[in-house]
Amino acid sequence: MSLKIPFGSPIIGEEERRVVAEVLSGPILVHGPKAVEFETAFAGFVGAPHAVAVSSCTAGMHLLYFSLGLGAGDEVIVPAMTHVATAHAVALTGARPVFVDAEPETGNIDLDRIEAALTERTRALAVVHYLGMPVNMERVRQVADRHGLFVVEDCALACGTRFDGVHAGLWGDAGVFSFYPVKHITTAEGGMVVTRDGLLADRIRLLRAFGVDRAHGERKIPGVYETVALGFNYRMSEIHAAIGVEQVRKLPAFLQARSENYRVLRDSLQEIPGIRILEGQHGAGTRYTHSWYCLNVMLDEELIPQRARIIEAMSAAGVGTSVYYPHPVPRFQYYQQQESYNLPRYAQAAAIADGTLALPVGPHLNGDDMAIIAQTLRMIIKGIH
């Protein structure tokens, strides 16, 4: 089914097609200059001293926890309202994710509840900039510094997100971005770890390629290399990186289009009864710079049982929507089977999972599309009332 207004759609142009063809015509498909060029370009956009390209955001987060030596008996604070990958990256090491509920206004981790969740086993703190709305990273740093915690920022939806003017990913010990097709930019699959810590960046580079001490291109004599650590194959290929180089160039224009679409859609939704925009106090002129991933609306109580109907009717009218995320992570079957999480503890995350509807504002759409989205939603809600 192809929608007139899809929720997300990668924007791939002639530039991407040309560079991919160039890479495919050459001899180097991995371990080449494109990955380095993409790392440099992305680091430049974020303002990061170090950037390491990896095969996905999940891979990057797993690398970070693995590099800390986390294992059974360790705990990591993880927001309940996030993509399951944020928790899986912890669980893959054998460590235990300890979930913390969301703030109702933004969907971000409730900073007031973190300290109650800490134990002597807590090693790290993961935060997610939910739908690109920045977490108050000054407060995160205070908690982390007080308790000696390593901070991982899941920046999968945070290209362009800033707190106090500093890009997401640079407040924590490391940040990890995703280039999956419906994120701000895409490489088909891909991710990027950014950090201010040069030693950590070196360690991630080593572990993303088997723990082998010399990259392929640095081996003067074939077969002369040493394996100095246990590691993965979490590299990004030259084909993916070449797409990334072109996408980073387009990122400022993509963000501009998103912010414009968001503004138009927000204005057009004002008089629709039964909905409220989930964005907190994050207007212009504050410390919070949004990445405008989507516009998330919370349905009023009487509309919540009708959400599936609303989604279907929107889709029938050609408008794609999404739900971020369908469950608080501890409510997913897999995590339920791991331990008996006390679900009422994640009531705010559950309210967002069960009661919100995400509307598209991506750069594949324009102001006319925003008017159609608002008009369609208005008619559907009117039909229900």
Ligand X SMILES: *Cc1c(COP(=O)(O)O)cnc(C)c1O
Point out which residues bind ligand X (CB under 6 A): 56-58, 82-83, 85-86, 128, 154, 156-157, 178, 180, 191
Q: Judging by beta carbons within 10 Å of its beta carbon (0-12, 13-18, 19+), is residue 37 exposed, middle or buried?
A: middle
- Helix 33-46 to helix 238-269 angle (10° resolution) is 30
Residue ranges of alpha helices (H) inside the chain are 14-25, 33-46, 57-67, 84-91, 114-117, 137-147, 198-207, 238-269, 307-316, 333-338, 347-355, 367-384
Q: Of 358 and 377, which has the nearer Cβ to ligand X?
A: 358
Q: Of 157 and 310, which has the nearer Cβ to ligand X?
A: 157
Min separation Cβ 62 and ligand X, Å: 9
Q: Of 82 and 321, which has the nearer Cβ to ligand X?
A: 82
Min separation Cβ 311 and ligand X, Å: 19
* Nearest residue to 262 (alpha-carbon basis) of 361, 187, 355: 361
Q: Could you tell me which residues come within 8 angstroms of residue 73 by beta carbon, excluding any fewer than 6 positions away?
A: 95, 121
278-302: string of b/e by CB count within 10 Å (b at 16+)? bbbeeeeeeebbbbbbbbbbbbeee
Q: Of 20 and 358, which has the nearer Cβ to ligand X?
A: 358
Q: Of 58 and 106, which has the nearer Cβ to ligand X?
A: 58
Q: Of 176 and 381, which has the nearer Cβ to ligand X?
A: 176
* CA dist., res. 298 & res. 318, Å (int): 21
Q: Residue 363 has which token pair?
A: 């750069």
